[in-house]
Structure 1
């Protein structure tokens, strides 16, 4: 070989590198010299490719110094010994330079210096004095049953009296050591008794019997959420376990051993309210709080929205006196349990399944005769608000009648018009003008923003003007783009026909409905998984966390009717373009130091799969394990044994709901119709006729064969068929109660 001729081999098989005594290379031929000179790259920089976490198709390309080139050049110039010494000295000099720079920074730069960073523009339009009034009103109304600290920059000098918090022993701190502002409230509420909810034989229905459910506060008052906001539970899996054990969802199947007081989060109020005059000193005028401290700017630490005027001083009427549940004559007088949902377009299997899950999981008394219902028990109601036309249209005078005619003829909606459900499910007509006029904070000014009403995250969706007759085609028909533009679009049926205007309208509708009527708003892509009585017992407002970010997701939103917090949100939104996008709402509360008043719950309570779908917590996922939201409709083959084997009980057990993030796939493709038995057979005939052209509304159904069903049933199929079996009377609900027709 050529290599053996020109390049002498070492005993180990590598080519020799002969050198003279002075370190210069010695070449036996021109070929040897040419190979030696081009053996190393001549570039001073070499490319390095690194993988990007979470991105499999691209790599990060970096240019780094060519150490081999540097070493070769140094040896060639200074010799082997002196060259290596030179490299070592250069490396030490670079290290010492970096260390010296950090030392000088720590010595001469103050620790409290704030380095310039990008900040979103402020949305604040309320002065500190008005923010203090909002805090004091919400606390006095019993809407802050939490020991979480009030932000210091609110500047309160006297702790507000809190009727929703039991008294606590506080350490006496000398005046000279006290902070300049008060961050705590003085609890005067009834004592809290945390419950260990377990069923006893023979009443061991999953998860509790009706009697046990009434002990959980129906007519007595309770709330959760000492929970997870105060306990550092990192993983969704662990969060769901706390929810299961503390809520008694593991009756008859508890395998966890040991004392579980730390995991109890459901409580009842026991005893009377304390005498506030014996607990706290009289309050002073909070408007003078900062003047007494000698602060020149009364709004220090608060940044006003640019080019906006301060809102006029806000004054609230005295809040209703807080009354513990056991003293209230009627359970629903002050705090009606209303679920709100907004829907646009034809009624489909999406709101159908949401309503079925409501009937299956909530304490509606459907297992009792109507005359035997307990008047002290507040039965939840589900108000489904329907926008019959496009978001930008105005309903016609016959919209209400037309809506019910469409519901009666729709196979997915007609079962819920049955008289048995008339007290728990109500269909409401949405009228944007009427609803905005019903909000006192908006009614006199919202029309100024009518042309920019559809605002999402600061991006305004302009409403295109109607096309004139000259734009029509010669045959009198309009083009496809005109038929399917965003003004005429009604509802989202697929990603390609996304109804953005209706989605933006729903962002605003949830705040309007909760502020006007009270209650909890749910996105239409939500399935209820357990009784929400613990959440109704929490008198404060809440939403939940946007995945890993410290922002709100308002797919679940609870606000108190006519609250000071609601006034703040609407007036602030009005000065910010009526933008109710969740990210923008997060800025409203953060800029005003009101975040604790709108509690941000962990997403595990309502959206347990979210972190996994974004590549987080996959080392300890919950059950079921979804790597994307589509797994709910198309369960991966290697995991497809779980839905049938575990059923409803194995689906994020412990969570209050599941949010499938607006996927348009049918829940049960092989039986894509309401399967509710002979009582609702007419609707099933219509749906089956629409699904199969060979079947008419009056023909007999072909015999159902198990061989025609899908071999591996997905999670969406299992949940739909479980809810439908309850309506057919084949199984009880999740609390062991059989529906009584």
Structure 2
């Protein structure tokens, strides 16, 4: 068989029967020996660091391929033409996307969906990442997106050093996706109830931290993790089972709560002297106003339990008359958080005491409050039976009512203060803009006679039904949560949220987070943790300002995705805060969590087929392990239809009597006070009713809170 001049026979083809040459005569063998060897297809060029080579195509072999296919002259000409075309293509792409100005397009591309939202350059985003990591706001091993283009791994005080030395390529070879851990070592806790205190779960250890990387491993819906399994890990790892366990084998993988060890921790490692200070604020042209990163310390190394850079503030926003909805949120806060109400005096050296700041917008979202708004607000709270109990001096240190003033709040955000007044409207949600007439923006309109109906979209105060939804207040709250967290720090929660356990370990995690929008890889900011005056906050406000001040959760998802900042605003699984959501959208019904709610309305009207569970299991059986429950609006559904008043005992009896009188005036048929019988009550109580009566029993002093602590008046 003849062989090509470019592909000569090797002369030593292996055979099953013999290893001898297969030449038929001496002439082909001599001819083969006289030909030059065939060039290899690739060249291996050694690089100047160990165990690395650069593999490139062999130009001579490529030329041989073209000549063998098309002939000597046509093949050579075609190869030259292909080479020139490739060079011109690379040059054209480099000219289009190579400059800093054109790396991040901001105009809509036809047939590509939503327009890009990015308004910053790559080097600005790199400084955001540097600042957040240097400030300890990225306590995660998860990779940094390579599109950010960090040249070298940043020093990360949020994670400990790696136990093994991993080979690292020299700077400039390719973008890094890792950070260098220089933080304190972690000791993971085995939290259990210890005899004789086994009736209730133990309070979380002050300063403990939830490893949210581990939580994601067990709970991430995108990795096919079930809410039911996630809740089991959450409650076992936190000791919420009160020691009532069955044998499951070694559970070290379920330990997700740790303490940082101050021994050997060197603060100087996290912020080397002479380092450039990354951004905290960006102007329109991208020039930063710089300030040094925040210096983080392990909890045990802090001079006092409360870290001023990480204040333990819960924020909530409310518009309209105070009802049983914020009432329940406040009761659940007192029932679960470490407020120290079981002590005569809270010890300032033992743990950081959380506070609940309830922000009240005194009028319609589009109106400007009058000069006496603060006094009027507190007068209204004193006269409201649902709000008045929380003005009691016993709650003075943990519950604070604050008035929301849109002008004051926006002026308090440096990134917005000079420009927000130039916008056409403040009410933009997901591109849906509500225009407010000029007279509504003028404070003099507060005293003018109303020409619009009180139920007009601009005049609504709260949502009284599904058909009269206060859309404007919802849009305002979308913005308010970012303003409050950026100005003051802390965690924001929607008013349709109920606390289910202590959040100590979430406070210990220094990063920012929201949670997942059910099945979609988007944010739901019904729970939002954002660090005070952070670079991430600056990015969000400057980006929102250039996108018509849109703070809808779906739009926030676009902001972070377009800028490759999603890891800095961690999207936690909704199992932690919204355990029923996937079931209500027909997901995971083959293995649902308990209780099994297929619609959010079933929290208020529990189906007869499962209505025995609330009384049999009690509040402790409601999504045990989750941090909170979000009942998704339903402002018009009472928690306890049979006892639709604040039932807090003799200490607050005046408010109860006032609420009863209001119900009678509306036509409700009520038995006189003290004459109610069990036969007058609903036989099977709904979940909402069981939770309300449980929290109220704690305030009345009839039972301890979730952790076995009795309130002391």
Q: Contact between 2:155 and 2:270, CA under 8 Å: does it hold in 1?
A: no
319 and 263 in structure 1: CA distance in 2 versus 1, 3 angstrom threshold:
same
How much has 1:373 moved relative to structure 2?
Answer: 2.1
1:688 aligns with 2:660: yes
1:107 paired residue number: none
535 and 477 in structure 1: CA distance in 2 versus 1, 3 angstrom threshold:
closer
Task: Give 1:145's match in structure 2, choosing from 125, 139, 150.
Answer: 139
Task: Give 1:127's match in structure 2, choosing from 121, 138, 141.
Answer: 121
2:428 paired residue number: 455
Q: Contact between 1:192 and 1:267, CA under 8 Å: does it hold in 2?
A: yes
How much has 1:695 moved relative to structure 2?
Answer: 10
CA deviations on 1:99-147 (whole Å, 9 max, x unpaired) are xxxxxxxxxxxxxxxx997342110011111101110000111111000
Please give the TM-score of this superposition, normalised by the length of structure 1.
0.76
How much has 1:492 moved relative to structure 2?
Answer: 1.0
How much has 1:643 moved relative to structure 2?
Answer: 0.5
Task: Give 1:254's match in structure 2, choosing from 235, 245, 248.
Answer: 245
Q: Contact between 2:318 and 2:495, CA under 8 Å: does it hold in 1?
A: yes
493 and 174 in structure 1: CA distance in 2 versus 1, 3 angstrom threshold:
closer
CA deviations on 1:433-483 (whole Å, 9 max, x unpaired) are 00000001000000001x31100001110114659xxxxxxxx9988x633
1:166 aligns with 2:160: yes
How much has 1:283 moved relative to structure 2?
Answer: 10
How much has 1:205 moved relative to structure 2?
Answer: 3.1
Taking the aligned partners of 1:521 and 1:176, their CA distance within structure 2 comes to: 42
345 and 311 in structure 1: CA distance in 2 versus 1, 3 angstrom threshold:
same
Task: Give 1:229's match in structure 2, choosing from 184, 204, 216.
Answer: 216
Partner SS for 1:443: coil
156 and 726 in structure 1: CA distance in 2 versus 1, 3 angstrom threshold:
same
How much has 1:486 moved relative to structure 2?
Answer: 1.4
2:378 paired residue number: 404
Taking the aligned partners of 1:548 and 1:689, their CA distance within structure 2 comes to: 45
Please give the TM-score of this superposition, normalised by the length of structure 2.
0.79
2:682 paired residue number: 710
CA deviations on 1:245-299 (whole Å, 9 max, x unpaired) are 0111012311242111101110000133545888999999899xxxxxxxxxxxx
Taking the aligned partners of 1:665 and 1:630, their CA distance within structure 2 comes to: 9
How much has 1:495 moved relative to structure 2?
Answer: 1.1
Taking the aligned partners of 1:230 and 1:283, their CA distance within structure 2 comes to: 38
Task: Give 1:437's match in structure 2, choosing from 411, 432, 441.
Answer: 411
1:637 paired residue number: 608
2:548 paired residue number: 577
Task: Give 1:648's match in structure 2, choosing from 594, 607, 619.
Answer: 619
Partner SS for 2:575: helix
CA deviations on 1:566-616 (whole Å, 9 max, x unpaired) are 000000000000000000000000000100000100000000000000000
Task: Give 2:576's match in structure 1, choosing from 605, 616, 619.
Answer: 605
1:387 paired residue number: 361
Q: Contact between 2:488 and 2:532, CA under 8 Å: does it hold in 1?
A: yes
Partner SS for 2:467: helix
713 and 194 in structure 1: CA distance in 2 versus 1, 3 angstrom threshold:
same
How much has 1:561 moved relative to structure 2?
Answer: 0.5
How much has 1:183 moved relative to structure 2?
Answer: 0.9
1:267 aligns with 2:234: no
How much has 1:176 moved relative to structure 2?
Answer: 8.5
2:302 paired residue number: 328
- Over aligned residue pairs, what C-alpha RMSD do you find? 2.7
Partner SS for 1:483: coil
1:301 paired residue number: none
2:532 paired residue number: 561
Q: Contact between 2:156 and 2:270, CA under 8 Å: does it hold in 1?
A: no
Partner SS for 2:229: helix
Taking the aligned partners of 2:400 and 2:450, their CA distance within structure 1 comes to: 38
2:638 paired residue number: 666
How much has 1:177 moved relative to structure 2?
Answer: 12
CA deviations on 1:691-737 (whole Å, 9 max, x unpaired) are 123999xx962501111001111000000000000000000001000
Taking the aligned partners of 1:647 and 1:728, their CA distance within structure 2 comes to: 18
Taking the aligned partners of 1:687 and 1:626, their CA distance within structure 2 comes to: 31
Q: Contact between 1:329 and 1:376, CA under 8 Å: does it hold in 2?
A: no
Taking the aligned partners of 2:541 and 2:270, their CA distance within structure 1 comes to: 35
Taking the aligned partners of 2:605 and 2:268, their CA distance within structure 1 comes to: 61
Taking the aligned partners of 1:488 and 1:556, their CA distance within structure 2 comes to: 27
Task: Give 1:350's match in structure 2, choosing from 295, 307, 325.
Answer: 325
Taking the aligned partners of 2:298 and 2:461, their CA distance within structure 1 comes to: 45
Partner SS for 1:496: coil
Q: Contact between 1:510 and 1:557, CA under 8 Å: does it hold in 2?
A: yes
Taking the aligned partners of 2:396 and 2:270, their CA distance within structure 1 comes to: 48
Q: How does 1:604-623 map to 2 (within 5 A)?
A: 604-623=575-594
1:319 aligns with 2:313: no
Partner SS for 1:553: strand
Task: Give 2:698's match in structure 1, choosing from 726, 731, 738.
Answer: 726
Taking the aligned partners of 2:269 and 2:338, their CA distance within structure 1 comes to: 40
Partner SS for 1:452: coil
330 and 618 in structure 1: CA distance in 2 versus 1, 3 angstrom threshold:
same
Partner SS for 1:252: coil
Q: How does 1:406-421 map to 2 (within 5 A)?
A: 406-421=380-395
280 and 725 in structure 1: CA distance in 2 versus 1, 3 angstrom threshold:
closer
284 and 347 in structure 1: CA distance in 2 versus 1, 3 angstrom threshold:
closer
Residue correspondences, number: 588
1:80 paired residue number: none
Partner SS for 1:237: helix
Task: Give 1:548's match in structure 2, choosing from 515, 519, 527.
Answer: 519
477 and 360 in structure 1: CA distance in 2 versus 1, 3 angstrom threshold:
closer
Q: Contact between 2:161 and 2:181, CA under 8 Å: does it hold in 1?
A: yes
Taking the aligned partners of 1:174 and 1:595, their CA distance within structure 2 comes to: 25
Partner SS for 1:167: coil
Taking the aligned partners of 1:343 and 1:159, their CA distance within structure 2 comes to: 43
Unaligned runs of 5+ in 2: 1-108, 441-447
